Structure 1
Amino acid sequence: MMEKADFTGVEQTMLATLYLRAWESRSKDSILRDHVAAELVDRLDYDFSKLMPHGGAGNRFMLALRAKQLDEWATDFLGRHPDAVVLHLGCGLDSRAFRLDLPAGVRWFDVDLPAVIDLRRKLYPEPDWYRTIGTSVTAPAWLEAIPAGRPVLVIAEGLLMYLTEDDNKLLLQQIADRFPTGELLLDGFAPWVIRMTQRMAKTLARRGYPSYSTAIRSGREIEKWSPRFRYLEGIPLVSLYAKIPLPVYRLTYRLMNAIPATRNFYRMFRFAF
């Protein structure tokens, strides 16, 4: 049965990322091998071709490299904490909960806006270890439903740049107050990227997309937002160029990695608390 997906704004970005992950995963040399994404694209009643002018062929590697790195960090944490709670914030239609080989004791919570979760529940199963929560991550009460006595892994992929800095600070402080220990995985753009999207805000809005709000200059900035968080590592996305199978895109990312401004335009970060 085909499911309708008709979103704009932040919700529309999940369809673009789903499509690009599916496209990348159909390659025999796939980085991510997210075959669930490819299956979901076939189940959705949506004209994905209209997303292409807003994405671009090379973006499928950006998304695959980002997801793969976060998957590897998540797998490392869960291997050390097999009884952990996972919070995937702004999960969209991502298949991470079903893509990873999870220890039996893990409890996983996917969190996104109600309309996104409504669609997600039609597409994914909900086994005993897995739950979805339909809410804005900035709402004050949703964290009360999450078990607080275990280590927690918080994944905020493609999320914090859409929130205001004040909302980000409040969200991270609520997480730090709720859980005794854990790790936080996130991604962020340099300030010049945020400024560029804000200058393009009207154009993006006509296409149904929001501009970005918050930059992350370095991992140390998160430590200033909330002193509970301790910076562990940060990886420029383009530094992973060797994993790209197509030579033309591998060369493009390699050249970007050689220039300081573009090397650090987009990074993944890992924190402990």
Structure 2
Amino acid sequence: MAGGEALISNVSDTARWVAAYRAVETARADALFRDPLADQLAGERGRAMVAAAPRVMRGGWPVVTRTVLIDDLIATSIREGCDRVLNLAAGLDTRPYRLDLPADFVWVEADLPALTTEKDAALADEKPRCTLIRRGVDLASPSATAKFLDAALGPLGPENSHATKALVITEGLLMYLEEETVRSIAGALARPEINWWVMDVTVAMKRMRAGSMFENAPLEFEPTHGIAYFEELGWRPLEVEHLLVQARKLDRAPWYLRPFTYLRQPNPRKPGRGPWSGVVRFRRVPDRPTG
């Protein structure tokens, strides 16, 4: 960038990078999804990030695969009765504008105020397919998170109804947080109105993000015990999808990584020292009666 400015100056900038990869996928003749807003949101900066990314990220296969898997898990949750989506650290995600959603379905986004304001301005002339509410909130603050959840799960939408079976999404969020913050968020989500939690989990993936490009957005949280970490916090896994294996099935994995997808895959509860990345949908384990 001009003047030696870093391509990624903070974690929020990775939202442009992710949007740029959605734009790359959208431009393909065999695109797995269409996101006509992605290129606009990525902008020149996002496209520059893609150009400078490591070779292993070519084509953005992890982002594309993760997007497809989470799209499918959202659809599954809605078929199972989900009545509200809470997308935490939504970044420049555009699912409310491109997924097939009922007009009265309530979708609530949260992210840092500066990014939220930017997104509001960029999409001011676009119409979401559902009832979309966007809020600026610092999710690293327990009090701010609790206040946000109170409002986001409360009476909203055309019918002014409360959520009863909500789905929470933390796509591309937890890996950037300190463990204490992750545990705080997990505790905050243990509410009766929340049924499901969809996330991406990464273990030993830092080498994929080596280099100066990501020095201002380092990976912080990598649970050694994989999904068992969240099971201990009261969340039961329903679907666990290995990202690289699914990328091969979707014909998006790089050719030189495909042979590894036919080998025995790491146990998601004991992934060991090797890299493992997956998308998981958890269900909250209800509090057990006491006394």
TM-score, structure 2 length as denominator? 0.77
The DSSP-based 3-state class of the residue aligned with 1:143 is helix
Partner Cα distance (1:50, 1:174) in 2? 34
**Displacement of 1:50 after TM fit?**
4.9
Structure 1 stretch displaced more, 149-158 or 27-36: 27-36
**Displacement of 1:143 after TM fit?**
1.8
Match of 1:184 in 2: 197
Note the 1:3-14 alignment, pairs <5 A: 8-14=9-15
**Displacement of 1:35 after TM fit?**
2.3
Contact 2:21/2:50 (8 A) holds in 1: no
**Displacement of 1:53 after TM fit?**
1.5
Gaps of 5+ in 2: 1-6, 155-161, 285-291
Partner Cα distance (1:73, 1:64) in 2? 14
Match of 2:180 among 166, 175, 186: 166
- The answer to whether 1:38 aligns with 2:51 is no
Contact 1:32/1:65 (8 A) holds in 2: no
Aligned AA (1:31): L
Match of 2:152 among 121, 125, 146: 146
Partner Cα distance (2:140, 2:10) in 1? 17
Partner Cα distance (1:250, 1:156) in 2? 26
Match of 2:282 in 1: 271
Contact 2:10/2:216 (8 A) holds in 1: yes
Partner Cα distance (2:44, 2:19) in 1? 13
Contact 1:236/1:266 (8 A) holds in 2: yes
Partner Cα distance (1:251, 1:207) in 2? 25
Contact 2:197/2:282 (8 A) holds in 1: yes
Contact 1:61/1:244 (8 A) holds in 2: no
Count how many residue pairs are aligned between Structure 1 and Structure 2: 253
Aligned AA (1:168): V
Gaps of 5+ in 1: 1-5
Partner Cα distance (2:9, 2:29) in 1? 32
Taking only aligned residues, the RMSD between alpha carbons, in angstroms, comes to 2.7
Match of 1:3 in 2: none
Match of 1:237 in 2: 243
Matched-pair identity in %: 22
Contact 2:97/2:127 (8 A) holds in 1: no
Match of 1:220 in 2: 228
Match of 1:64 in 2: 64
Partner Cα distance (1:123, 1:54) in 2? 25
Contact 1:233/1:269 (8 A) holds in 2: yes
The DSSP-based 3-state class of the residue aligned with 1:35 is coil
**Displacement of 1:244 after TM fit?**
1.9
Match of 1:117 in 2: 116
Match of 1:75 in 2: 75
> 1:63 and 1:132, CA in 2 relative to 1: closer, same or farther beyond 3 A?
same
Contact 2:16/2:45 (8 A) holds in 1: no
Partner Cα distance (1:104, 1:80) in 2? 18
Aligned AA (1:186): M
Aligned AA (2:179): E
Note the 1:119-138 alignment, pairs <5 A: 119-124=118-123, 125=126, 129-138=131-140
Partner Cα distance (1:47, 1:193) in 2? 22
Partner Cα distance (1:265, 1:59) in 2? 19
Partner Cα distance (2:95, 2:89) in 1? 12
> 1:50 and 1:76, CA in 2 relative to 1: closer, same or farther beyond 3 A?
closer
Partner Cα distance (1:252, 1:71) in 2? 27
Contact 1:239/1:253 (8 A) holds in 2: no
Aligned AA (1:22): A
Note the 1:15-34 alignment, pairs <5 A: 15-34=16-35
The DSSP-based 3-state class of the residue aligned with 1:183 is strand
